[in-house]
A and B are shown apart, each in its own frame.
Chain A
């Protein structure tokens, strides 16, 4: 029986989670092997696996994966280095917030992918352009979200610190930053997910390596098996990075789970 908010056991949770994956692949196999969908437009699961193996073994796809990961991490780390301190300062000091907030709110809605043609003009089609796309796509989001998080630091904790003799910099360093560190880590995890979208778009246009480049090449060859394999690889990398982020948070912020 389904009852609202009734908890579920660990074993049942895993079985249910996996069974949807199986159902999904079965549906896909039924549509393709059964001949309901043309092979030209959608490869069947086995072809996808064979194509994927060929990609890895013969076409150096591992190198493409490595290149894409490096681009995401490079652009994302640069964005985080710039955005986190600005976000903290905005959250803590209202004049700094008043100075940056209107522009950042505006810039946040500029689609990173629309900058690609401009960035190609400025930076060519090399690595700098790829990093810039991810940087532009991530930096404003991180700034705003960190600023909101730091700005909503519990007021009574700040007051308690004041009565314990903390000065203004102490309040930022010893209360606002540690109080919001888990939230900031969560923001970074979220934005890293979005950065994956930007990198693939950047690689679809004017690129000679990377997962996105492989996907656009495969389109020209109608190799839908390869495209699907590429997409699944991206999903798997996202899953792994998410898991690593969560594990790191548990290790860094044990007080949250206590």
Chain B
């Protein structure tokens, strides 16, 4: 069943100070099946974040449209939860209040909200930190809270824009397993943007490779590694084969980008 359709979506940013307009995204088509975990892989400046922001409704396409469950997207909404690369917890709210933000906005019952918040606190392993301020948390804990905050809203699709980009390698690896574990249990539809090849393969059931200048989809690769996955899988021959192939795809892009400037 198709959940999300990206239909000929393009984005052209107007030129700055009389300069030429910049094509961030050439007309792009993608359809996302329900319960799929899709990673969008590409070098910086390939328009992958632009595409995700258009799906979120935070940016508008210059042409084309995005449909979620057949309905056209016209702006941001609670049906598309998002986790950002920058730390976007509300600093004046505690961990529990942050997770409850969307539920409060929906006007849910107090008791029901408390139960949902408690269950997500457990799922992301933050028991004991419910009443901490975001400032008191490490980067990894902040992003765990941000994931819980997006999921507590029970969105149709979860959008993640390089959520672990600012974390150190060890934490990043643990976060990937945590996110994958949640997905294996709940099977939410996920769109995950990253420039890390290993991360893209490890998480995905399907990897979309994008290329830069102008941004477009270059390859579409199914990842048939079995679930549940853990970190040991990253050293398996199947994983390495996929990694070698994607490294080649990305490298061409990086070389092109480097010689252009």
B-binding residues in A (CB < 8 A): 156-157, 159-167, 170, 174-175, 178-179, 181, 253-256, 258
Which residue of A is nearest B59, CB measured? A159
How far, in whole Å, are A151 and B106 apart by their CA atoms in the complex?
A: 26
Question: What distance in Å separates the Cβ of A159 from its nearest Cβ neighbour in chain B?
Answer: 5
Task: Please name the residue on chain B nearest to A253 by beta carbon.
Answer: B92
A165–B133 touching, CB < 8 Å: no
Of the candidates A163, A165, A166, A255, the one whose C-beta lies within 8 Å of that of B91 is A255
Question: Contact at B84–A156, with CB atoms within 8 Å?
Answer: yes
Ordered by A's residue number, 11 sampled pairs between the chains whose C-beta atoms are within 8 Å are A159-B58, A160-B146, A164-B102, A164-B153, A165-B105, A165-B106, A165-B153, A178-B93, A253-B92, A254-B133, A255-B91
- Smallest CB-CB separation from A181: which chain B residue? B92
Q: Which A residue sits closest to B136, measured CB to CB?
A: A258
CB B113 to nearest CB in A, in angstroms, measures 13
Given contacts A253-B92, A258-B135, contact A163 B56 (CB under 8 A): yes
- Shortest A156–chain B CB gap in Å is 5
Q: Check B90 against A163 for contact (C-beta < 8 Å).
A: no
Q: Pick out which of these stretches binds chain A: B40-48, B73-81, B185-193.
A: B73-81
The reply on B82 being an interface residue by CB < 8 A is: yes
Q: Are B133 and A164 in contact (CB under 8 A)?
A: no
Most buried by B among A160, A170, A174, A179: A160
CA distance A253 to B86 in the complex (A): 23
- B119 at interface (Cβ–Cβ under 8 A)? no
Task: Return B106 CB to nearest CB of chain A, in Å.
Answer: 6
The interface residues of chain B lying within 8 Å CB-to-CB of A160 are 82, 84, 88, 90, 146
Task: Tell me the minimal C-beta distance from B130 to chain A in angstroms.
Answer: 14
A159, A174, A179: residue with the most chain B Cβ atoms closer than 10 Å:
A159
A22 to B105, CA, bound (A): 57
B101 at the interface (CB under 8 A from A): yes
A166 & B105 in contact (Cβ 8 Å cutoff): yes
Query: A206 to B138, alpha carbons, bound, how many Å?
Result: 60
Which residues of B lie under 8 Å from residue A162 when comparing CB positions? 57-58, 75-76
Query: Total A-B pairs in contact (CB under 8 Å)?
Result: 74
* B150: interface (CB < 8 Å): yes
Contact B86 A156 (CB under 8 A): yes
A86 to B133, CA, bound (A): 30
| Complex Cα gap A164–B103 (Å) | 8
Does B149 sit within 8 A of A, measured CB to CB?
yes
**Chain A neighbourhood of B136, CB < 8 A:** 258
Contacts of A170 in B (CB 8 A): 105
> Given contacts A163-B150, A164-B149, could you give 15 more A-B pairs where the C-beta distance is less than 8 Å?
A156-B84, A156-B88, A160-B82, A162-B58, A163-B76, A163-B82, A164-B105, A165-B78, A165-B153, A166-B101, A179-B90, A179-B92, A255-B92, A255-B93, A258-B136
A164 to B56, CA, bound (A): 11
For residue A167, which residue of chain B has the nearest CB?
Answer: B105
Quote the shortest CB–CB distance from B144 to chain A (angstroms).
Answer: 15
Among B77, B90, B159, the residue within 8 A (CB) of A165 is B77
Contacting A at CB under 8 A, from B49-88, are 56-58, 75-78, 80-82, 84, 86, 88
* Contact string against A for B residues 97-132, beta-carbon threshold 8 Å, 1 for contact and 0 otherwise: 000011011100000000000000000000000001
**Would you call B84 and A159 a contact (CB within 8 A)?**
yes
A165 B102 Cβ-Cβ under 8 A: yes
Q: Interface digits, B207-241 against A, CB 8 Å rule (1 contact, 0 not)? A: 00000000000000000000000000000000000
> Which one of B77, B78, B90, B150 contacts A157 once the chains associate, using CB atoms below 8 Å?
B90
* Interchain CB contact (< 8 A) of A164 among B58, B81, B135: B81
Question: Nearest Cβ distance between residue A60 and chain B, in whole angstroms?
Answer: 46
Residue of A at shortest CB range from B153? A164
Q: Which residues of A contact B104 (CB under 8 A)?
A: 174
Q: Which of A159, A178, A253, A254 contacts B90 (CB 8 A)?
A: A178
CB distance from B66 to the nearest CB of A (A): 14
Chain A residues contacting B91 (CB-CB under 8 Å) are 179, 255-256
List, in ascending order, chain A residues with CB within 8 A of B56's CB: 163
Residues of B within 8 Å of A167, CB to CB, are: 105
Shortest C-beta distance, A172 to chain B (Å), equals 13
A164 with B150: CB separation less than 8 A: yes
A157 to B84 alpha-carbon distance, docked (Å):
10
Measured CA separation A156–B80 after assembly (Å) = 16
Chain A residue nearest to B155 (CB atoms) is A163
Min CB distance B73 to A, Å, is 12
**CB-nearest residue of chain B relative to A177?**
B92
| Chain B residue at smallest Cβ distance from A170 | B105
CB proximity of B16 to chain A, nearest CB, Å: 18
Q: How far is the CB of B133 from chain A (nearest CB, A)?
A: 4
Determine the distance from Cα of A197 to Cα of B61 in the docked complex, in whole angstroms.
Answer: 54
What are the residues of chain A within 8 A of B81 when measuring CB–CB? 163-164
